[in-house]
Amino acid sequence: MSKPKKPAWIDEFVAFAVKGNAMALAVGTIIGAAFSTITKSLTEDIIMPIVAIFLGGIDFSEIKITLPRLFGEAPLDEAGNVIPNTLNVGNFLSAIINFLILALVVFFLVKGLNKLGNLHKKKEEAPPAPPAPPEPSAEEKLLTEIRDLLKQK
């Protein structure tokens, strides 16, 4: 009994998945997700409380706009209280600050990597060749001939 022939795309996929680019992308995504939780904590646990001090103790997570219910009955929680329909503006502001922190970190990371790349390129480049000496003028050639003739005598 012969073995079924595997499709050619499987080998291509394995080669792609094992290549450095795919693995680097996977590692970058995992590290990015972890870094995102760090910046979220930085924003919510450190930056926003400091900002709240200057805004009179306002907790950004409490900044909400309650919207009216136009149709149907309002949903109730387990205690029988009405669950309000709100726009969570404070959470949105926190998300914007998270984004700005991440963008700033990525900017400096890319800037640093570009600087390292430029340093590496400079080291690899060969130094420029010294300029060739200029061609002697007609007078210099004539004087050289006279000197050589005088040496011979």
Segment-wise mean pLDDT, segments of 10 residues, the chain, 153 residues: 80 76 82 86 85 79 85 84 88 86 84 81 68 85 87 84
Cβ–Cβ under 8 Å, residues 96 and 63: no
Model pLDDT, residue 20: 63
Which pLDDT belongs to residue 116? 83
Is residue 62 within 8 Å of 90, Cβ to Cβ? Answer: yes
Using a 10 angstrom Cβ sphere, with 0-12 exposed, 13-18 middle and 19 or more buried, the burial of residue 46 is exposed
In contact, 81 and 62? CB cutoff 8 Å: no
**Distance of alpha carbon 73 from alpha carbon 66, whole angstroms:** 16
- What is the pLDDT, as a whole number, of residue 124? 62
Tokens found for residue 87:
């726009």
132 vs 137: CA distance, rounded Å: 15
Q: What is the pLDDT of residue 123?
A: 63
Query: What pLDDT score does 65 carry?
Result: 92
pLDDT at 125: 65
Please tell me the distance from the alpha carbon of residue 5 to that of residue 80, in angstroms, as a whole number: 63
Q: Please tell me the class of the 8-127 domain.
A: mainly alpha
In the chain, beta strands by DSSP E: 65-67, 85-87
- Candidates 96, 114, 110; CA nearest to 51 is 96
